Amino acid sequence: MLRLPAVQRTARALTYLTAFVLICVCLWLNKFFGRPDLDQIAYHVGLGVEGLGTSDPALVGHFVRWCVVAPLVFLTATLAVEWRGSLRARLPVRLRAVGAKMPLLLMAAALVYWVVDTNALRYVAKNFGVDYFGANYLPPQLVSLKGGHTKNLVIIYVESLEAAYAKPELFGEDRIAPLTQLQGESFTQYRQAPGTGFTIAAIVSTQCGVPLERVGLFDLNTQGQVIDNFMPHATCLSDILQQHGYRNVFMGGGSLKFAGKGNFLKSHHYDEAYGREDWIAQGANPDKMNGWGLYDDELFDHAKEKLRQLHESNKPFNLTLLTVDTHEPAGFKPRRCKIQDPNQFEGVVECSAQEIAGFVDFIKDSGYLKDTNVVILGDHLARKNPVADRLETLPERYIFNKFISDEPMKKNREEIVHFDLLPTMLEFIGFEAHGNQLGLGFSGFGKVGAKDKKPNPERFDQMSQNLLNRSETYLHLWQS
């Protein structure tokens, strides 16, 4: 055994273990989520871990194997080799000297790997960069009615739905044909800007016109203190609709506790919100759910009944839905889906497209489209799912979107980002955004007059470089 005092042996063991944990966590993140940056990791660690136990059990199992069991196995093997004195005695003197420093060398290598893999230096540097947000954010002002009336709104956020699933050259056929064949308008270049690349960030950015980020290296306490009051100084879609007499209802298959989703909905005037725990309370069998919660087909069953109730109330409403079946790493195929596909994930995508299109058909067949417009949005680009390698071959990747109305709408451009959805959805249902801008977003519908603000052609590149830099204006949105 290595002849060191017990304290030193313990310190070496802990150093080894920490290094192995850092390496294994990075490998796990890369395998199952791609390369999330430190902002996303920090947000979920600081605000979003509540409800994690109700997420995908398979994902939790993978985490335990990769990030708990594997480091312990590596540690045990390392110590077993290191503490064999006979083996150490046969090593050259120089190698023995290196071996004495091995825990620190491995820790240094693990830290370098972590810093590079998570863009940690950029996370630190953003505290000193140009304040893009403060220079470009326009607090949403009161919007006015266009023509004196508005329509009801149904928003369907579809987990990780990319426009590229419609490409036969990638997938053999149009895997989302039921959606691409729906009558409506689509923006062909819906791009993913920083601070929008995970589900709660996509909801916040499309409804509030702002990114979602950890508040900053030097403001670590601020977000934690306001977890029950989610971005209280932001004016969001649901806030504006509530001011105009709308009832806001959210329905999702997964837990509302995860990633602060329930706190956001409660803070921004959602009158009703339903998630995994609520479905169980209403009698759903947890053993028949997928890893996150309800399968999409069951979610749409509930949504149809809620839509009937809302429509019969004769009051304006916003019904927001969030699907889960196409969630990485492998997706979930609902039991009612009849599609048989040897490529399991492509079948899941097709099933999800059929369920969404079926719900839209229900809206049409019920006559609701006369006074209700529908918006279908992928929440963000796909991450590490079984077809990610094909998606990553594309020079540009875009998010699926479809705006369905019985009245034609005219687009004023093809490229949009998440922030544009706030004024675009308001314009879509009959409101008018003064000056064409709300938050960081510009409406994609309607004419843009000489006095209206227009998105800078270089906007996306500027956002990519500077949007998540430290901003006092952004911090104010979180402060009570």
Name the residue among 142, 161, 464, 99 with its Cα closest to residue 326: 161
* pLDDT tens string 110-127: 888 777 766 665 656 566
Give the CA-trace dihedral at 135, 461, 382, 198, to 10 degrees: -20
Contact indicator for 276, 259 with CB cutoff of 8 Å: no
CA angle 284, 288, 292 (to 5 degrees): 85
| pLDDT value of residue 453 | 79
| Number of H-type helices and E-type strands within the chain | 22, 12
Quick one: what percent of the chain has pLDDT higher than 70? 82
* Residue 299: per-residue pLDDT: 97
Residue 356's pLDDT is 98
pTM over 0.85: no
Average pLDDT, the chain: 85
d(CA 348, CA 330): 9
pLDDT of the residue at 225: 38
> Do 442 and 453 form a contact (C-beta atoms < 8 A)?
yes
Question: What does the DSSP assignment read for 334-369?
Answer: -TT-----SSHHHHHHHHHHHHHHHHHHHHHHTTGG
288-302, pLDDT tens digit by residue?
999 899 999 999 999
pLDDT of residue 34: 58
CA triplet 461, 466, 470: central angle to 5 degrees? Answer: 165
pLDDT of residue 219: 41
**386 token code pair:** 């079984």
Q: Where are the domains of the chain?
A: 6-128, 140-478
The contacts of residue 77 (CB under 8 Å, 6+ apart) are none
Q: Quick one: which of 475, 471, 438 has its CA closest to 207?
A: 438
pLDDT attached to residue 412: 93
CA distance 204 to 3: 57
pLDDT at 223: 45
Architecture of domain 140-478: 3-Layer(aba) Sandwich (3.40)
The three-class DSSP label of residue 268 is coil
Q: Which residues of the chain have pLDDT under 50?
A: 1-2, 47-49, 51-54, 86, 216-226
What is the chain's length?
480
